Amino acid sequence: MATSIDFPEVEHILRDYLDQNSLRKTPERFNILRAIYGKKGHFDAEALYLELKNQDLKVSRATVYNTLDILVDCSLVSKQYFGDSITKYEKSYGYRQHDHLVCTTCSRILEFCDPRIERIKTMVEEVYRFRIDSHALNFYGECIDPACAGKEQKQRPESAVE
Protein backbone atom coordinates (compact mmCIF):
# COMPACT_ATOMS: atom_id res chain seq x y z
CA MET A 1 0.00 0.00 0.00
CA ALA A 2 3.01 2.26 0.16
CA THR A 3 4.64 4.55 -2.26
CA SER A 4 8.30 5.45 -1.90
CA ILE A 5 8.76 7.29 1.39
CA ASP A 6 11.05 10.28 1.61
CA PHE A 7 11.98 9.98 5.29
CA PRO A 8 13.65 13.43 5.49
CA GLU A 9 10.29 14.85 4.34
CA VAL A 10 8.52 12.94 7.13
CA GLU A 11 10.97 14.38 9.67
CA HIS A 12 10.44 17.85 8.19
CA ILE A 13 6.66 17.52 8.61
CA LEU A 14 7.14 16.58 12.27
CA ARG A 15 9.59 19.45 12.85
CA ASP A 16 7.16 21.95 11.30
CA TYR A 17 4.28 20.60 13.37
CA LEU A 18 6.31 20.81 16.59
CA ASP A 19 7.37 24.38 15.75
CA GLN A 20 3.82 25.48 14.89
CA ASN A 21 2.50 24.05 18.15
CA SER A 22 5.40 25.24 20.35
CA LEU A 23 6.35 21.66 21.23
CA ARG A 24 9.88 20.49 21.96
CA LYS A 25 11.89 18.70 19.25
CA THR A 26 13.30 15.89 21.36
CA PRO A 27 15.49 13.03 20.11
CA GLU A 28 12.97 10.60 21.64
CA ARG A 29 10.19 11.85 19.36
CA PHE A 30 12.36 11.42 16.29
CA ASN A 31 13.52 7.95 17.45
CA ILE A 32 9.87 6.95 17.79
CA LEU A 33 9.10 8.31 14.32
CA ARG A 34 12.09 6.44 12.85
CA ALA A 35 11.02 3.20 14.53
CA ILE A 36 7.47 3.54 13.20
CA TYR A 37 8.61 4.24 9.65
CA GLY A 38 10.89 1.20 9.85
CA LYS A 39 7.92 -1.06 10.66
CA LYS A 40 5.57 -2.90 8.35
CA GLY A 41 1.88 -3.15 9.06
CA HIS A 42 -0.07 -2.28 12.18
CA PHE A 43 1.28 -2.05 15.70
CA ASP A 44 0.07 -1.11 19.16
CA ALA A 45 1.66 1.44 21.47
CA GLU A 46 2.78 -1.09 24.06
CA ALA A 47 4.59 -3.24 21.47
CA LEU A 48 6.30 -0.13 20.12
CA TYR A 49 7.37 0.89 23.63
CA LEU A 50 8.83 -2.57 24.32
CA GLU A 51 10.61 -2.59 20.97
CA LEU A 52 12.25 0.77 21.75
CA LYS A 53 13.24 -0.39 25.25
CA ASN A 54 14.77 -3.57 23.76
CA GLN A 55 16.86 -1.35 21.49
CA ASP A 56 18.15 0.40 24.64
CA LEU A 57 16.55 3.69 23.62
CA LYS A 58 15.76 5.87 26.61
CA VAL A 59 12.05 6.48 26.20
CA SER A 60 9.16 6.35 28.64
CA ARG A 61 5.79 4.77 28.02
CA ALA A 62 4.20 8.23 28.38
CA THR A 63 6.51 9.65 25.71
CA VAL A 64 5.49 6.88 23.30
CA TYR A 65 1.77 7.52 23.88
CA ASN A 66 2.17 11.32 23.70
CA THR A 67 4.28 11.11 20.55
CA LEU A 68 1.74 8.82 18.90
CA ASP A 69 -0.94 11.44 19.58
CA ILE A 70 1.27 14.10 17.99
CA LEU A 71 1.97 11.90 14.95
CA VAL A 72 -1.74 11.24 14.50
CA ASP A 73 -2.47 14.98 14.75
CA CYS A 74 0.05 15.80 12.03
CA SER A 75 -1.15 12.91 9.79
CA LEU A 76 2.07 10.92 9.88
CA VAL A 77 0.38 8.02 11.68
CA SER A 78 -3.21 6.83 11.57
CA LYS A 79 -5.09 5.32 14.48
CA GLN A 80 -7.34 2.30 13.93
CA TYR A 81 -9.82 0.44 16.11
CA PHE A 82 -10.37 -3.16 15.12
CA GLY A 83 -12.72 -4.25 17.89
CA ASP A 84 -10.07 -6.02 19.97
CA SER A 85 -9.99 -3.21 22.55
CA ILE A 86 -6.42 -2.39 21.56
CA THR A 87 -5.78 0.69 19.47
CA LYS A 88 -3.59 -0.08 16.47
CA TYR A 89 -1.51 2.40 14.56
CA GLU A 90 0.10 2.48 11.15
CA LYS A 91 2.30 4.93 9.29
CA SER A 92 0.29 7.06 6.91
CA TYR A 93 2.56 9.48 5.05
CA GLY A 94 2.89 8.37 1.44
CA TYR A 95 0.34 5.62 1.89
CA ARG A 96 -2.78 5.60 -0.20
CA GLN A 97 -6.20 5.02 1.29
CA HIS A 98 -6.80 1.37 1.96
CA ASP A 99 -9.25 -0.79 3.85
CA HIS A 100 -8.95 -3.81 6.10
CA LEU A 101 -10.03 -7.42 6.52
CA VAL A 102 -9.82 -8.42 10.19
CA CYS A 103 -9.84 -12.06 11.27
CA THR A 104 -11.86 -12.30 14.49
CA THR A 105 -10.20 -15.64 15.28
CA CYS A 106 -6.48 -14.87 14.97
CA SER A 107 -6.62 -11.02 14.79
CA ARG A 108 -4.66 -10.96 11.53
CA ILE A 109 -5.23 -7.74 9.58
CA LEU A 110 -5.06 -7.74 5.79
CA GLU A 111 -5.02 -4.52 3.81
CA PHE A 112 -6.68 -4.12 0.46
CA CYS A 113 -7.41 -1.34 -1.98
CA ASP A 114 -10.35 -1.49 -4.37
CA PRO A 115 -10.89 1.45 -6.74
CA ARG A 116 -14.67 0.85 -6.64
CA ILE A 117 -14.69 2.09 -3.03
CA GLU A 118 -13.15 5.37 -4.15
CA ARG A 119 -15.87 5.70 -6.81
CA ILE A 120 -18.55 5.08 -4.17
CA LYS A 121 -16.97 7.76 -1.98
CA THR A 122 -17.06 10.24 -4.87
CA MET A 123 -20.71 9.40 -5.60
CA VAL A 124 -21.67 9.85 -1.93
CA GLU A 125 -19.95 13.24 -1.91
CA GLU A 126 -21.90 14.34 -4.97
CA VAL A 127 -25.28 12.98 -3.88
CA TYR A 128 -25.10 14.31 -0.33
CA ARG A 129 -23.09 17.44 -1.14
CA PHE A 130 -20.50 16.45 1.42
CA ARG A 131 -16.69 16.59 1.33
CA ILE A 132 -15.19 13.38 2.72
CA ASP A 133 -11.68 13.83 4.12
CA SER A 134 -11.06 10.18 4.88
CA HIS A 135 -12.84 6.93 5.53
CA ALA A 136 -12.25 3.63 7.28
CA LEU A 137 -13.75 0.39 6.06
CA ASN A 138 -13.16 -2.79 8.03
CA PHE A 139 -14.62 -6.18 7.21
CA TYR A 140 -14.68 -8.66 10.11
CA GLY A 141 -14.76 -12.42 9.70
CA GLU A 142 -12.54 -15.47 9.75
CA CYS A 143 -9.60 -16.08 7.49
CA ILE A 144 -9.81 -19.35 5.59
CA ASP A 145 -6.15 -20.12 6.25
CA PRO A 146 -5.97 -23.54 7.96
CA ALA A 147 -2.94 -22.25 9.89
CA CYS A 148 -5.02 -19.47 11.46
CA ALA A 149 -3.63 -19.19 14.99
CA GLY A 150 -7.05 -19.16 16.66
CA LYS A 151 -8.78 -21.91 14.67
CA GLU A 152 -7.10 -24.75 16.53
CA GLN A 153 -8.48 -23.61 19.89
CA LYS A 154 -11.90 -22.80 18.44
CA GLN A 155 -12.27 -26.27 16.93
CA ARG A 156 -10.95 -28.08 19.99
CA PRO A 157 -13.89 -29.66 21.88
CA GLU A 158 -14.54 -28.29 25.34
CA SER A 159 -13.71 -30.74 28.11
CA ALA A 160 -16.73 -31.99 29.98
CA VAL A 161 -17.38 -30.44 33.36
CA GLU A 162 -18.61 -32.82 36.03
CATH code of the domain in which 66 resides: 1.10.10.10
Query: Residues 57, 119: one domain?
Result: no
In total, how many domains does the chain have?
2
CA–CA dist 85, 9 (Å, integer): 33
Q: Are residues 59 and 129 in the same domain?
A: no
Both 136 and 78 in one domain: the answer is no
Average pLDDT value over all residues in the chain: 84
Parent domain of 128: 97-162
Across residues 117-144, what is the average pLDDT? 88
Listed residues 48, 77, 95: the one ending a domain: 95
Q: What is the pLDDT of residues 7-56, one digit of tens each?
A: 899 999 999 999 999 999 999 999 999 999 998 888 999 999 999 999 98
Residue 4's pLDDT band (cuts 50, 70, 90)? low
Q: What is the pLDDT at residue 158?
A: 46
CATH code, 140: 3.30.1490.190
pLDDT of residue 87: 85
CA distances from 121 to 50, 58, 118, 146, 161 (A): 38, 44, 5, 35, 52
Query: Does 7 share its domain with 60?
Result: yes
Shared-domain flag, residues 81 and 116: no
User: Residue 102: beta bridge partners?
Assistant: 109, 140
Q: Is the pLDDT of residue 142 over 80?
A: yes
Looking at per-residue pLDDT, the higher value among 110 and 84 belongs to 110
